[in-house]
Amino acid sequence: MDYTALRAEVEQKTAQTIEVLKGEFAGLRTGRASVHLLDGVRVAVYGSDMPLNQVATVATPDNQTLSVTVWDINNAGAVEKAIRDSGLGLNPMTAGGVIRMSMPPLTEERRRELTRVAGKYAEEAKISMRNIRQDAMGRIKRAVGDKEISEDDQRKYEEDIQKVFDARAGEVDALAKQKEADIMSV
């Protein structure tokens, strides 16, 4: 059993899990405009569903406004409809090929709802990492059963893998706490 390869794989998979979590958090609305807010929006154009960033440029002229410049003016209606149907609670207004959205202030109830969603995303990331850990621990146990490593090595490897997961879980908790603070700040 190649432990260094196993550890590198665990590090890489947990890092990917955290990147996915950061992406999900970027799509959650806070009190200010963010270009990442529209990352999950898909637009039905040219006979297929395309990500918004492949048909338009998203910008934030100020803290409370999102501006979407559609590259092909014929797609402006489809982009506006996709934003309206995205469930983000935005009201797009089109002027030619430019769509502007004013970010309405979040109500206390909506802020609490968004913090619950953020908590759900964080918990999903932790579950994903637990599955990665379970797989790694299972591979270490199989190596002991196949007499590839000793029981002493097993304990050492399991403790080392656990340290990686403890550190990554701490990262997830810190990201979740930061996102909750961002959402709750007025």
Q: Rounded to whole angstroms, what are the CA distances from 34 to 29, 44, 78, 109?
A: 8, 23, 21, 21
16: domain range?
A: 3-26+107-184
pLDDT digits (tens, 9 = 90+) for 50-61: 888 888 998 888
Among residues 82, 102, 122, the one where a domain terminates is 102
The total number of structural domains in the chain stands at 2
Do residue 142 and residue 98 come from a single domain? no
Report the pLDDT value the prediction gives residue 122, as an integer from 0 to 100. Answer: 92
pTM, two decimals, is 0.70
Do residue 94 and residue 41 come from a single domain? yes
Q: pLDDT exceeding 70 applies to what percent of the chain?
A: 97
Report the pLDDT value the prediction gives residue 31, as an integer from 0 to 100. Answer: 64
What is the full DSSP assignment across the chain?
Answer: --HHHHHHHHHHHHHHHHHHHHHHHHTS--SS--GGGGTT-EEEETTEEEEGGGTEEEEEEETTEEEEEESSGGGHHHHHHHHHTTSS----EEETTEEEEE-PPPPHHHHHHHHHHHHHHHHHHHHHHHHHHHHHHHHHHHHHHTTSS-HHHHHHHHHHHHHHHHHHHHHHHHHHHHHHHHHH--
Average pLDDT along the chain: 86
Do residue 71 and residue 115 come from a single domain? no
Do residue 169 and residue 138 come from a single domain? yes
Q: What is the mean pLDDT of residues 143-159?
A: 89
pLDDT digits (tens, 9 = 90+) for 64-118: 888 999 988 888 888 888 888 877 777 888 887 889 888 777 778 878 888 888 8
pLDDT digits (tens, 9 = 90+) for 28-54: 766 667 777 787 788 888 888 888 888
Q: What is the mean pLDDT of residues 177-183?
A: 87
